[in-house]
Amino acid sequence: MMRLYKTDALVLRVRDFSEADRIVTLYTYSRGKVQAIAKGSRKTKSRKRGAVQPFTYGNFLLYQGRSLDTITQCEPKESFSHLREDLVKLAYSTYLTELVDGFTAEGEPNEQVFLLLLTTFYLLLKDNPGLLVRAFELKLLNILGYCPQLESCVHCHGPVAGNAAKVRFSSRLGGVLCDKCSGHDPFATTIQMGSLKTMQQLLKWDIRRLQVLKVPEERQQEIAAILRHYIDERIERKLKSTVFLDTVLQ
């Protein structure tokens, strides 16, 4: 097995390791999530310094180690510096990377996750961040097998009344409930039918087409709250980045 390998990657997270080094969490195209050490990257004149900034997209040459891989070379393709310079986009981007980090295990490659995150970073430079992030959440959950049931009742699998103004959504059971089954989760949340239809659109549509979708702010907030609770249930912990995101958006 070749211990030296080359792959495109996105920087999910960076933390200081010593006076000169950093530990970098990468999401790679060919190997999924990887933990690697970037030796000397804290030094001002280090060539690696710019390449291991959060959100950076680049081509990395790594040496596979027992517990940590080592970044030997890195060529940035896109720094996404604008995502770090704008406070709102920084908060959203940090949330996206923590979401990917939290839902994926090391050494499990998934090209769809990589391409979804990369595409979303590019779109964040210009599009409505809130709606884009809602689509990202749903698509990531779908790719990884955690997507909520949105088309039919999660309990009986029957149709959800299309003429109803509201339905119930159960984070615990994993989707919408019809009227007959709404009592199976007393903590299920009421959701407007319009919000449910928007969630269905966000899941199905190409994420690059979202700029043509006009969604009222109140509906966006309802979808955000539903997905926040659903994700917390699935990941079984509170994401740290949501505190920063909520503070910025206040």
pLDDT of residue 1: 54
Q: How many percent of the chain have pLDDT more than 70?
A: 98
- Residue range(s) in the chain whose domain bears CATH number 2.40.50.140: 4-79
pLDDT of residue 185: 94
pLDDT of residue 2: 62
Radius of gyration of the chain (CA): 20
pLDDT over 80 (residue 178): yes
Could you tell me the pLDDT band of residue 198, with boundaries at 50, 70 and 90? Answer: very high
pLDDT of residue 40: 82
β-pair partners for 22: 16, 38
C-alpha to C-alpha distance for 200 and 195, rounded to whole angstroms: 9
Tell how strand 166-170 and strand 175-177 pair up.
Answer: antiparallel
pLDDT over 70 (residue 15): yes
Spell out a b/e string for 123-159, using b for 16 or more CB atoms within 10 Å of the CB, else e.
bbeebbbbbbbbbbbbbbbbbbebbbbbeebbbeeee
Which architecture does CATH list for 4-79? Beta Barrel (2.40)
CATH superfamily of 82-148+186-249: Recombination protein O, C-terminal domain (1.20.1440.120)
Could you tell me the pLDDT band of residue 161, with boundaries at 50, 70 and 90? Answer: confident
pTM comes to 0.94
Could you tell me the pLDDT band of residue 91, with boundaries at 50, 70 and 90? Answer: very high
pLDDT of residue 44: 72
C-alpha to C-alpha distance for 219 and 126, rounded to whole angstroms: 21
pLDDT of residue 50: 76
pLDDT digits (tens, 9 = 90+) for 38-85: 998 888 777 777 788 999 999 999 999 888 999 999 999 999 999 999
- Residue range(s) in the chain whose domain bears CATH number 1.20.1440.120: 82-148+186-249
Mean pLDDT of the region 179-203: 94
Q: Which residue has the higher pLDDT, 87 or 50?
A: 87
Cβ neighbours of 166 (radius 10 Å): 13
Tell how strand 166-170 and strand 57-63 pair up.
Answer: unpaired
Could you tell me the pLDDT band of residue 163, with boundaries at 50, 70 and 90? Answer: low
Residue 131's nearest CA partner among 221, 206, 42 is 221
Could you tell me the pLDDT band of residue 177, with boundaries at 50, 70 and 90? Answer: very high
- pLDDT, the chain, mean: 93
Q: Among 35-44, 87-96, 110-119, 205-214, whose mean pLDDT is lowest?
A: 35-44
Among 18-22, 38-42, 224-228, the range of highest mean pLDDT? 224-228
